[in-house]
């Protein structure tokens, strides 16, 4: 049998000379990278983010509107619900004792993990406190729209820490959400003369705290992705729960210390008695806020593991423009033209990033199909070469 001309196969051809490809190598990339279970998990995580974030923000506004005044309590509620996830983590561990490699980690690795938990926990505590102060000083619709700046911050940190490529759709998305936030600043400045210095001071405090919190939260998300890529050996649901519980226990400790150091805990008994909707509703609202934030945490970290920190932030951003509409319905907040334009820009920015994600998936599919064709050519060449040896 004559010698067959070797096709130009790049790195795949070079690998085929070293070893015969196995059947597992011919599974298409799109099937290996995005199985159906992965898409289902993405849908579940996205639903948890949208439901948890919207309900937590609206309930937080309800707390302030009806007599609540302790920003640190709100920050505590954002993290204190983590123990409710411990039973789920234990169930998963009992079902699959090898689900995590913690028992076989060296002391150095355990120290690294501990450092990750402390850093992420302290960072989350800071963003929780700042978010609570922002929500206290701003209408919930304005607060939600300023939060869309989180997408811009996260894109910056994703490029810096997670090797995220900057594409025209991402740049367009960042531009739109930035303009959305700037519109709110100028809108408030034009109304501040009529509203007085007190409202202007509240807006400045709320805006700056919310903006800094958005940046800190984005840094936390990018650092979480970096931790999963560099520190944690396995990226499964058990690891997600483990990270959330440890991180939020640290954040809860930090905020609880602040609550006692500042003396705000003394006001809680009076706050309970004087809450306009009554004690029972007060307790229900606080418990619901804690549960809602846990839903958000599981969804956010889950999407970081399944996709990326930037995609997780995009999903949380898309839920924010819905909040002003709900605020107008439940709290009768004004939804004027500037807020509507800001909301449209935020949604447009989200759509631009989704388009970027869609293009990436198309490229992965095309690359996967091309790779399958090339790999099959390698396998055929290998089989023919083996047959020619016997002849």
Tens-digit pLDDT profile for residues 144-173: 878 877 877 877 887 788 776 767 777 776
Is residue 275 domain-resident? yes
Closest Cα to residue 68, out of 342, 213, 270, 337? Answer: 270
- Over residues 196-231, the pLDDT tens digits come to 555 778 888 998 999 999 899 889 888 888 888 888
Contact present, 133 and 205 (Cβ < 8 Å): yes
Q: What band does 251 get if pLDDT is binned at 50, 70 and 90?
A: very high
- Over residues 255-298, the pLDDT tens digits come to 999 999 998 888 888 888 889 888 899 999 999 999 999 898 88
- Over residues 284-296, the pLDDT tens digits come to 999 999 999 989 8
What distance in Å separates the CA atoms of residue 221 and residue 210, rounded to the nearest whole number? Answer: 16
Contact present, 313 and 225 (Cβ < 8 Å): no
pTM of the entire predicted model: 0.72
Section 337-366 average pLDDT: 69
Is residue 226 domain-resident? yes
| Average pLDDT of the chain, as a whole number | 74
What distance in Å separates the CA atoms of residue 144 and residue 323, rounded to the nearest whole number? Answer: 6
Contact present, 219 and 152 (Cβ < 8 Å): no
Q: What domain count does the chain have? A: 1
Is residue 40 domain-resident? no
Contacts of 214 (CB under 8 A, 6+ apart): 146, 147, 149, 150, 153
Contact present, 180 and 145 (Cβ < 8 Å): yes
Is residue 114 domain-resident? yes
Q: Which domain holds residue 176?
A: 46-351
C-beta neighbour count of 49 within 10 angstroms? 26
Q: What band does 193 get if pLDDT is binned at 50, 70 and 90?
A: very low
Is residue 123 domain-resident? yes
Contact present, 312 and 223 (Cβ < 8 Å): no
């Amino acid at each position: 049998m004559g010698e067959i001309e070797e096709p130009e196969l790049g790195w795949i051809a070079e690998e085929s000379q070293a070893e015969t490809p196995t059947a597992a190598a011919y599974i298409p990339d799109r099937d290996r990278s995005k199985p159906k279970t992965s898409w289902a998990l993405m849908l579940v995580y996205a639903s948890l983010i949208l439901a948890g974030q919207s309900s937590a923000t609206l309930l937080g506004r309800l707390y302030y509107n009806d007599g609540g005044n302790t920003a640190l309590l709100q920050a505590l509620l954002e993290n204190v619900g983590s123990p409710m996830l411990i039973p789920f983590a234990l169930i998963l561990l009992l079902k699959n004792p090898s689900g995590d490699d913690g028992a076989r980690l060296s002391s150095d690795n355990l120290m690294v993990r501990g450092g990750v938990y402390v850093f992420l926990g302290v960072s989350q505590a800071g963003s929780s406190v700042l978010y609570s102060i922002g929500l206290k000083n701003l209408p919930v619709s304005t607060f939600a729209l300023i939060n869309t700046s989180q997408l811009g911050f996260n894109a910056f940190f994703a490029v810096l820490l997670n090797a995220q490529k900057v594409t025209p759709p991402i740049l367009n998305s960042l531009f739109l959400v930035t303009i959305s936030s700037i519109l709110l600043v100028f809108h408030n400045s034009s109304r501040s003369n009529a509203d007085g210095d007190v409202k202007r001071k509240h807006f400045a405090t709320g805006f700056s705290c919310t903006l800094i919190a958005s940046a800190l939260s984005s840094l936390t998300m990018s650092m979480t992705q970096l931790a999963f890529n560099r520190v944690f050996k396995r990226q499964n649901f058990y690891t997600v729960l483990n990270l959330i519980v440890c991180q939020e226990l640290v954040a809860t400790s930090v905020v609880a210390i602040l609550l006692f150091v500042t003396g705000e805990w003394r006001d809680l008994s009076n706050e309970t008695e004087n809450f306009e909707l009554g004690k029972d509703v007060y307790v229900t609202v606080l418990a619901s806020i804690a549960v809602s934030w846990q839903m958000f945490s599981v969804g956010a970290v889950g999407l970081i593991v399944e996709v990326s920190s930037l995609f997780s932030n995009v999903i949380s951003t898309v839920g924010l423009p819905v909040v002003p509409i709900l605020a107008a319905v439940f709290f009768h907040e004004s939804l004027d033209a500037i807020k509507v334009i800001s909301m449209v820009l935020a949604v447009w920015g989200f759509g631009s990033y989704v388009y970027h994600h869609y293009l990436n998936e198309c490229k992965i599919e095309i690359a996967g199909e091309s790779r399958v064709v090339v790999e099959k050519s390698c396998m055929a060449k290998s089989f023919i070469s083996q047959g020619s040896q016997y002849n």
